[in-house]
Structure formats: structure tokens, C-alpha cells
Structure 1
Amino acid sequence: MAKPVKTSGPSQRQLRVGELIRHALAEMLARGDIHDDVLAKYVITVPEVRLSPDLKLATAYIMPLGGLDVKPVLKALGGHTRYIRGEIAHRVNLKYAPNIRFLQDESFAEAERIDALLYSEKVLPDILKPPLKINPDDHDDD
């Protein structure tokens, strides 16, 4: 009998290891452990690190403060992936250090897009309508 396929999202282990890697990476960036002129110019946030189910690939979502000049920061981080992987292997106790790739965090842009939709002229009147009041004595129990 085959095992059922789980499609509900990341496992607890993926989430926990992702958070450990996120903390290690954020600490490295905050302390300036990665010696690069481009990275030294920016304050970089790491909102999330996602891992593959086998924990061999970590995707770190990054965003420079203010959201400016993302491409040079991604390129600089990409040039130091081997060093970063080695440092994470020392800082996080794992059997295998995952390969790391860096992508731009788009959650801020998505939040702005949703806010713009909610406050658009089409949706705003619906949001401002008073909620319907339901009187529990008005229903029929036939």
C-alpha cells in the first residue's frame, strides 16, 4: 500500500531548519562577516528561508532596506554562496549543509498590491458598508 502524498505545505523540520538558517544568515550579514563592497553598503533583511523537502536546497528571500538596488545585492550574495554555505554548516548543526540560492523577497510588493486593491474605488464602498445585523429571534424553525 502506497503512502499518501502530503500536500499541506512545509514540514515542521523544514520550517525549523529554515528558521535556523535565516538567523545564521541574518547574523552574518549584520556583523559584516561576508566581505564585499556591495553588501557593506546596504542593510539587508532576510524575511524567510524555505527548504526543499530533502533539506538539500535552501532558498533565502532577501531585501535591502528600502527595496533599492536588489539586483547588485543578489549578484554579490550569489558570488559568495560557497563561503555562506560553509559558514552556515559551522553555525547550524546539520548532517548536510544545503545549497543556497538567493531570490528577491516580493512579499512587501504583494502586500502593497493587496492594499491598493482594498482601497480602490471599486472595493472601498463595500468595505465601508455597515455589517448586517442578524436578529436571532427573526428566524423560522420549521
Structure 2
Amino acid sequence: MARGAHPHSGPSQRQLRVGELIRRTLSDVLQKGEIHDPDLNRIPITVGEVVVTSDLKIATAYVLPLGGQGRDEMLDALRRNRFELRRAVTRAMTLKYSPELKFAIDETFDRLDATRRMFAEERVKRDLSESQDDVPDGD
């Protein structure tokens, strides 16, 4: 389920399509260095996901600098250039309203690393091994 989605309903297909279009557009604009800010252009940025509100007026882009270093500097540069980034997104889309862009750190990779570390613990490996022994073969 996408971030910010209601736990029972989830985002609509339109929200998902718009979010993905914004994600691709932001990725392209940032990769090509189309924003005229040297601070922003020297940071390789990954746009992991864009979550759009149900009215399509606010889009939150979950971003991470390559290598994970300089997160605060990256967020400051993105926020400083949000109006120019919004114009770039607007040019690529055919929506009645251009969504306001917000930026947040994408913590997906941090959670994956934590999960990997947890599964590497001996205690967890032992518990998983024991639970596998309790599963019937299916014969």
C-alpha cells in the first residue's frame, strides 16, 4: 500500500497514475539538471515514490540522495526550487491543477537494511528454522 493511503481503501488508479507520472518527470528533470541551481544539480537524487492526495492537489515526493549522504542539504535544495520543479511537472502533464510539491526522505532502503539485519540475527534464524520444521509437507 502506498504511503498516506487510507488503510481500508488505498489510492485510486488515477492517484497512482498521476504519482508515477510526477515521479518520472521529477527524475528526468533532476537527472538532466534542468533546474538552474548548482547545489541541486550536483546531488544525484533518487525519486522513489510520489504519493498524491485524493484531490490531486498535493504530491509528496519521497527522495534520497545517492549514497544517502547530504539528506538535509538535498531537501533544502529541493524545497528552495519547488516552484521551478512544479513548473517542469506542469509542462509534462495535462491536469486541471498543478499539484503542490512536497519532499520527504524515502526511508524504504533504511527499513530494508533493518529487516535484513534482523533476519541475519542468530535468534531469528533459529526461530525461522523451528517454524519451518512445524509446517506439514503437504503429502
Structure 2 length-normalised TM: 0.87
Given the superposition, is the C-alpha separation of residues 128 and 6 from structure 1 closer, same or farther in structure 2, using an over 3 Å criterion? closer
The structure with the greater share of residues assigned to helix is 2
Q: Deviation at 1:114?
A: 1.1
Residue in 2 that maps onto 1:40: 41
Q: CA RMSD in A?
A: 1.8
Where do 1:48-59 residues align within 5 Å? 48-59=49-60
Cα shift readout 1:79-102 (whole Å, capped 9, x = no counterpart): 011111111111111111000001
Task: Give the secondary-structure state (helix, strand or coil) at the position aligned to 2:123.
Answer: coil
- Quick check: 1:24–1:92 contact (8 Å CA) kept in 2? no
Given the superposition, is the C-alpha separation of residues 114 and 22 from structure 1 closer, same or farther in structure 2, using an over 3 Å criterion? same
Residue in 1 that maps onto 2:126: 125
Structure 2 unaligned runs (5+)? 1-5
Q: How many residues align?
A: 132
Moved over 4 A (4+): none
Give distance in 2, aligned partners of 1:9 and 1:101: 20
Give distance in 1, aligned partners of 2:7 and 2:39: 41
Residue in 1 that maps onto 2:110: 109
Task: Give the secondary-structure state (helix, strand or coil) at the position aligned to 1:122.
Answer: helix
Residue in 2 that maps onto 1:96: 97
Residue in 2 that maps onto 1:13: 14
Q: Deviation at 1:38?
A: 1.6
Residue in 1 that maps onto 2:3: none
Give distance in 2, aligned partners of 1:82 and 1:102: 12
Task: Give the secondary-structure state (helix, strand or coil) at the position aligned to 1:10.
Answer: coil
Task: Give the secondary-structure state (helix, strand or coil) at the position aligned to 2:113.
Answer: helix
Task: Give the secondary-structure state (helix, strand or coil) at the position aligned to 1:95.
Answer: coil
2:70 aligned partner, one-letter code: D
